[in-house]
Structure 1
Amino acid sequence: MAYTEKIKSLFGSFALFIASHPWKFCLIGFLINGFLGLGMLNLPRKHLLNNNIEDVYMPRDTETEKMAQEILKKFPEHSKDAFYHHQSIQQPLFAELVIWEQNKESIINESFHEILSSLIEEIKNLSFTSVDGNDSNFYDICTRRNDKCVVSGETIIDNLKDSKDGTIPVKSLMPKNTTILENPLFQLADYQVANDTLVTATYLRIRYNLCHDTPKQAENAGKWMDRFVSQMKESTEKLHSKNLIFAFSNSKSFLEEIGNDTFTDIPYFSFVFTVYLIYIGFTMSGGNILAKRAHIGRMGVIVTPTSVLGAWGILMACKVEFTNVLGITPVLIVCHQIINTMITLSHLADANDISDGKKRVAYAVRMSSIPITVTMMCYMIPFATAIVSKYYAVELVGIYMVTTILFNYVNHFVFYTACLAIHEQRIDAGRHCCICIKLRTREELEGRNCCIICCCSGSRPNSRTDTESSIEKLTRIIMLRVLLTTPVKIIAFVSLLVLVGSTLFGLVNVNIDVFQKNEVLPTSYFYNWNEVVDEQFKYRPIIQFVTYHPSGYLNDSSSVLELKQKLVDKQQNLLSWSDVYRDKNYPNASSESDLYKSIKNDFFKKEAAFVNDIYFDESRSVITASRFYIQSKDIVSSKELISLKHDLLCIAEKFDDILKDKYQNFNKKFLPISSDTDIGFIQVHSPDFFQIDDFLRPLWEILIFTGTQLGILFLLFLLLKPSIRFLLLLLITYILMTMSIFGISNFVGVYLTQVSLIMYLVAGCFCVDIIVHIFYAFSQAPCDNKAGCLNTVLSSSIQSVFHAVFGLFLGILVLFVVHSYVFVTVFRISILTYSICILFTILWIPSVFSIVGPVDSTSQPETISIYRVENVLDKRQSRSAGGMENPSFEHNSKHE
């Protein structure tokens, strides 16, 4: 195509210009990146490190959050003066203890009263420094009711002093204004009740509820929770000596411990680079003492840290936050850059017959420019879509990835091109690769020690094999002699069918879930608490229903009653002010104003628990909004909670539609529905919904990312190779690679969460690197039949890609010893990604192309065995090395 040749010619001219002033571009490029890197000083100075898992990984602007904000307009939180835990709209803050006797005997024993009472008071008096700088304790931040701190389970401890026979009457556990949703028995596990008497209980749960109505209160609560955790770690031995065992946690512990666990595995992650770079160093160390390319290979690797320095420096100078998960971006970029480096060096090896080093560099840059540009665009544009993600972690990855890949692209074609020019000038000058002194010919050193001859003489390479390392020569021979044999093809197609079948099965049974709480390290205090709570205590979330009544409650009471009857059929407990009003024989109201007066003057004085469940329009003396609650049956997994939420929303939606029709022509200023929200007449909400909100969001973001990547890939190759067969192969390969990684990850225990989402995005980029370089090499291979193309590409691009990915595969094996959830997820998806990429690179793609390759034969077909040799004479009478045509006649005509 004419335009592709113009693009390559433009890059060639640019490289020729840089090669004329290599030291200037090399030093200026490095200094600019180093200067920009000074912005990284803002990381500690501006406190840009953010490892708050809740802030970084939880979705933003979710439907549950919007619903909570709408409900708060009518029913604000009253945790400071009238706290009832079932009325909570925001996620509650608390610290919790679970206590049991060492021999698992009943804890309902008078002897434990003094111990537990003193423990309760000791915890209440834990002091901390508030955000205002004052000394504070639990009494300053606790939730209150009737001017008393609300500590769930404290009533049971108070009654232990009278349990001389090891029993407690259930009625004595129920203080005034306690609702059915606050049954103290919920704080016990493995208990028995006989004749309305608690006769035994093994586990007691004590919860310290903390005020969180304002951001300041929430921040103070967080400070006290930290103090609570540190104190309980110190109190372990003291309680154990009194035959009591306990586990403790707080509402932030899980996310905090997930974040803290990553610090234990960061040193292992650093070894990934060490192993990877050692392997790549050996791979790129070919050539004699003059042509040795180890140093120029290292400069190709240095492009990545140089780019990271410049990109991250400018971002941190702009005060963009940083988080631990961004540590995966250099791994992706360095692999991408090593592929770019090896592809460029591969083309440079084809230009050995050009006498001018500048023109050799220009040729290498010209030939590698298009695939490198294509991969860069297939990275940048999809990651640009990730910047608008609902997850802050994904947004940060998108910002850092787009900036870093752009810097890496520029540095590759400027900084690295200058390094290539310096390298080639040294070869032309016949200077030593390390000490840069002038080398002598072997003839001049004839008769000297063999070591002196090896280290002090060298010649300019004449063929590809002169610059290949031993590893490259070995893998090339194996690829050419083994991969294209009939048995290997049969193995390839059978294994491909197995892969497709496994992928489909994995996709059907994919696990979508929030963070797995059992992934916290066993050494964590949260792990112990979570095990006890999961095994012994039932999880029964409370869901609140808010109903709006534009013309008053009585006008909609029949619909609300019908809705409650539907819900009672599915759930255990229902708490409603209207049911209490009816059951306790308050006067029947014949009008809205009568109901208004009765509730205001009588009902609220006797039933304080419902004061915050009714919203009045004072001007019209009517109830315009109210709420009631249900307690669900036992929930054992996130999937069950998701299913419950869906069922309740479906029930509410049917009644909401009835009310919408009813009030279609009502005065709009009294309606809850607005044009910019989906809020209706019936709202369903629970703080527990925050943890499952947008549970499908990771899947949608993966589809958006991969869909964008696939679209860019298709459009670019449509311009480069407008062949239907070629494009279909490309699309099928990308889809199969990404779907395989996603589907098979189900078999290695990976759930679709916010952490795995990031790794799936990274996996898509590895697939792009493989596909672009191999498919582009096939489309440009200078041969007339499939066999020749296969051997040409196997000897060059496939080998380069294989070594880059295989080295990363060896490096990531280091993470086999990690334990933290984040790094375990990184390891599992990474090892799967690299394995699939390697198999596609050397097995499946070559096998498919050997049958349905893009090159149409223009001559008599030749057997592959003819090409399975190290050197082949092409019909064009040009020299070949390892099946790769040496296009010297093109160099002479174009550059000399």
Structure 2
Amino acid sequence: MVKMDAFVEKLSSFSSDKLDIAYGHFSSLDEELDKNVNGDIALFSVTITLMLTYACVATFSFRDSVSQRSILGFAGILAAGLAIIASFGLCSIIGVDFVSIVGVVPFLVIEALRSSGVGITITSITDLIAFLAGVGSSFLAVRNFCIYTAVAVVFCYINNISLFAACLTINERRVEQNRHFFTCRRVKPKEELKAIGKSNLYAICCGGSPPNNRNDAESFLDKFPRWLFPKVVLKLPFKIIIIVLFVCYLAFGIYGCVNLKQGLNLSQLVQDDSYFYKYSTRLETYFSRQTPVAFVTINDYTYSDFDTKNQINSVIKTAQDHEYFDDTFEHNWLNTYMASTYYDGSSESDFIAGFKSFISDRRYSRFENDVVFDSNERRIAASKFYVLSSDLSDSQEEGKMMLKAREIADREKFQCFASSPAFIAFEQYVRILGQTLQTVGIALAAVFVVTCFFMPHPVLIVFVTLAVTMIMVGVFGYMLYIDVALSAITMIHLIMSIGFSIDFTAHICHGYMISTGVSRDERVRQAFDHTGAPIFHGAMSSLIGVVVLYFAKSYIFKTFAFVMSFVLLFGIAHALLLLPVILSWRGPGRLTVSNELKGKTEQVEKETEVFL
């Protein structure tokens, strides 16, 4: 590592008016990724702060000190923070390596916390199933991220139904007993304080009484969604416009899915002022897409035997005869050694002695790292031979070339395996699409099953499942238009999207199901009354936080911002525009609810909506 640092320092101080030098080493990418992510942690903290600030503002009441609800936000943060700490601690204890993308887990936990009632149960279960499906991924970053996040989701749910629920109960008792929201001391009503000569400001800050009705307890932002959206979605001209817009949305999404790019350029992962950015862009711009591929053996072969030489040449010849490989390039230490004056094949010991003299010659020192001797340095324990790929057109061809190299190694008599540092990137080209579709498919199936349990009406189950599918089509497809390709990083973001997508749609359908209006339009209006505020606040607080991440230098956080913006925008559009229109036309019949159950349901909705 010291040598690598000295290498970078030496070349960074070099200047020339004749040479344009770009450089990098084997661990440059890892160093730059860590630098980017660590540099954006502060930016991520700003994101969380903005989300929490919005939550406090949205629940802030100017009425008096008794009906004030913003203090519950701090209880929510405590629940989320404990879930994050528990997840990180438990995963570290059991030996799960921390990866950079785990840095977005706090955002996800706070997102889950903004759900309430049935919403958080459905979201938590579908999120958990989606992340457990991702645990089976062959990509280490995806697998470890899913483990960390699945554990955090479990702890978050436990904290919600225990710690946060307890805080809700305590808060309701505080309000009933006319206690101050911060000091918890009993206070006098504002009218009594004004009667004894106290100012209006003093009366608001130090006095108050329990709200007489829901209107007194809500802020302006709480009332805004149920005032605006019914005026839009329940009028025929707007309904037609909404349907047409969503048909166009779906068409563009499907086109994007069909033409979605796969792969990841190295230059996307580092800052543009980094030395490795210059190196990677030079490679991508000026050099062909040719990759050195090594055929490596760790078997004990007698290299002085001509049969071994023929087997090695057969491997190289088979590769060169294929269109994926250059038919002239060959880096073969054995052939070069046998053609030199140092060669002595009379015995294996003489062969080894001659080879040591061979690589000590500066003309042939390039082969020094192609051979590993055993502990006694009397035999060759491992060796490698190189071929070069053709100038391949795209990442998909590179992935196919990697598979072909492995196939050649498996079929030949000479026991070896194909290897290249670039295979780390190529691996995702051949696996990422299948694994993403499999994981998302499992999560969508989980959405269907979970919805069957928590929303036992076939029509609403179909609506929720189709809406989540449409949202995912949009998220997948619209990545094409912002030039974001499908990779291991975006696969993680797509897995995260499932839970957020169902959160919005489940809320509005659940609100419709428990509504008691006679007509469909009336039930849609009541659904907005029940769930419009949580959906709107949840999306707005998240969007405000996500906007900050657009300025991140890390590709991980930047793509997270884009994908989450799609999830939030498409999710709120489906929940507050498309689904209400569909429900107003083809919603199921009215569900009969007893007065006792209705009263309990309204009380639960009132209590759980205090936190976004």
TM range (shorter): 0.7 to 0.9
Give a deviation string over 1:442-493, Cα, whole Å, max 9, x none: 5545655444554455333333222111111223211232232223222221
The TM-score, its normalising length taken from structure 1, stands at: 0.57
8 A contact 2:87–2:151 mirrored in 1: yes
- Say if 1:381 and 1:853 are closer, same or farther in 2 by CA, change over 3 A: same
Gaps of 5+ in 1: 1-221, 341-367, 585-595, 616-624, 660-670, 673-680, 859-874, 880-884, 892-896
Shift of 1:635: 4.2
| Residue 379 of structure 1: how far off its partner (Å) | 2.0
Cα distance in structure 2, aligned partners of 1:795 and 1:759: 31
**Mean CA deviation greater in 604-613 or 398-407:** 604-613
Conservation of the 8 A alpha-carbon contact between 1:604 and 1:611:
no
| Distance in 2 separating the partners of 1:706 and 1:690 | 23
User: Which of 497, 503, 506 is 2:247 aligned to?
Assistant: 497
Question: 2:165 & 2:459 partners in 1: Cα distance?
Answer: 35
For residue 573 of structure 1, the aligned residue among 317, 328, 332 is: 328
Aligned to 1:689: 423
Tell me, in whole angstroms, the C-alpha distance in 2 between the residues paired with 1:438 and 1:577.
Answer: 87
**1:285 aligned residue (39, 60, 64):** 60
**Alpha-carbon distance in structure 1 between the residues aligned to 2:268 and 2:587:** 48
Which residue identity is paired with 1:306?
L
CA positional deviation for 1:248:
2.6
Tell whether 2:65 aligns with 1:257: no
Distance verdict in 2 for CA 1:612–1:567, change over 3 Å: farther
The amino acid of 2:215's aligned partner reads: T
Structure 1 counterpart of 2:377: none
2:504 touches 2:575 (CA, 8 Å); kept in 1? yes
Give the C-alpha shift of residue 272 in structure 1.
Answer: 0.8
Equivalent in the alignment of 1:887: 599
Quick one: distance in 2 between partners of 1:562 and 1:522? 41
Which of 176, 181, 205 in structure 2 is aligned with 1:428? 176
Contact 1:249 1:526 in 2 (8 A): yes
Q: Which has the larger radius of gyration?
A: 1
Q: Which residue of 2 aligns with 1:644?
A: 401
Deviation string 1:803-831 (CA, Å, 9 cap, x unpaired) is 11111101211122223322222222122
Q: Percent identity?
A: 23
SS of 1:768's equivalent in the other structure is helix
Answer yes or no: is the 8 Å Cα contact 1:273–1:331 preserved in 2. yes
Please tell me whether the aligned partners of residues 283 and 469 of structure 1 are also in contact (alpha carbons under 8 angstroms): yes
Q: Which amino acid aligns with 1:273?
A: I
Q: Distance in 2 between matches of 1:476 and 1:626?
A: 71
Q: 1:268 Cα shift? A: 1.8
Aligned twin of 2:112: 336
Residue 517, structure 1, aligned to residue 267, structure 2: yes
* Residue 776 (structure 1) shift: 2.7
Q: Distance in 1 between matches of 2:601 and 2:325?
A: 81
| 8 Å contact kept, 1:254–1:517 | no
Q: Distance in 2 between matches of 1:315 and 1:377?
A: 20
Q: How many residues align?
A: 576
Secondary structure of the residue aligned to 1:543 is: strand
Residue 489 of structure 1 aligns to which amino acid in structure 2?
K
Aligned amino acid, residue 309 of structure 1: I
Query: d(CA) in 2 for partners of 1:255 and 1:752?
Result: 20
- Aligned twin of 1:797: 531
Q: Which residue of 2 aligns with 1:391?
A: 139
On the 8 A contact 1:785/1:857 being kept in 2, the answer is no
Aligned partners of 2:122, 2:45: CA distance in 1, in Å? 30
**Which of 497, 507, 532 pairs up with 2:257?**
507
- State the alpha-carbon separation in 2 of the partners of residues 745 and 815 from structure 1: 17
2:47 to 264, 268, 272: 272
Matched, 1:380 2:128: yes
Q: Secondary structure at the match of 1:291?
A: coil
TM-align CA RMSD: 4.3
Distance in 2 of aligned mates of 1:387 and 1:857: 40
1:416-565 paired onto structure 2 within 5 Å: 416-441=164-189, 444-445=192-193, 447=195, 448=197, 449-455=199-205, 457-544=207-294, 563=318
Query: CA offsets, 1:366-398, max 9 Å, x none?
Result: xx3x44323222222322333343333323322
Measured in 2, the distance between the counterparts of 1:781 and 1:756 equals 38
The question of whether the paired residues in 2 share the 8 Å contact of 1:576 and 1:627 is answered with no
Task: Determine whether 1:407 maps to 2:141.
Answer: no
TM-score by length of 2: 0.80
**Is contact 1:812–1:831 with CA below 8 Å preserved after alignment?**
yes
Which structure: greater helix fraction?
Answer: 2
Whole-angstrom CA distance in 1 between matches of 2:324 and 2:140: 40
Measure, in 1, the Cα distance between the counterparts of 2:99 and 2:331.
45
Aligned counterparts, 1:667-746, within 5 A: 684-746=418-480
1:306 and 2:18 are equivalent in the alignment:
no
1:619-669 superposed Cα distances (whole Å, 9 cap, x missing partner): xxxxxx99875433334643442243456667x49x94xx8xxxxxxxxxx
Alpha-carbon distance between aligned partners in 2 of 1:490 and 1:748, rounded to the nearest angstrom: 28
Which structure 2 segments of 5+ residues have no match?
Answer: 340-344, 373-381, 604-612
Match of 2:562 in 1: 828
Q: What residue is the counterpart of 1:634 in the other structure?
A: 391
Superposition deviation, residue 434 in structure 1: 3.2
Asked if structure 1 preserves the Cα contact closer than 8 Å seen for 2:223 and 2:533, the reply is: no
SS at match of 1:511: coil
State how far apart, in whole Å, the 2-side matches of 1:560 and 1:526 are: 34
Residue 419 of structure 1 aligns with an amino acid whose one-letter code is C
Higher relative contact order (CA 8 A, sep 6+): 2
Q: Tell me if structure 2 keeps the 8 A contact 1:802–1:841.
A: no
Instruction: Indicate if the aligned counterparts of 2:225 and 2:536 stay in contact, CA closer than 8 A.
Output: no
Q: 1:401 is matched by which residue type in structure 2?
A: T
Distance 1:453 1:689, change over 3 A: closer
Residue equivalent to 1:232: 11
Q: For residues 141-160 of structure 1, what are the structure 2 equivalents within 5 Å?
A: none
Contact 1:540 1:634 in 2 (8 A): yes
Larger strand share, 1 or 2: 1
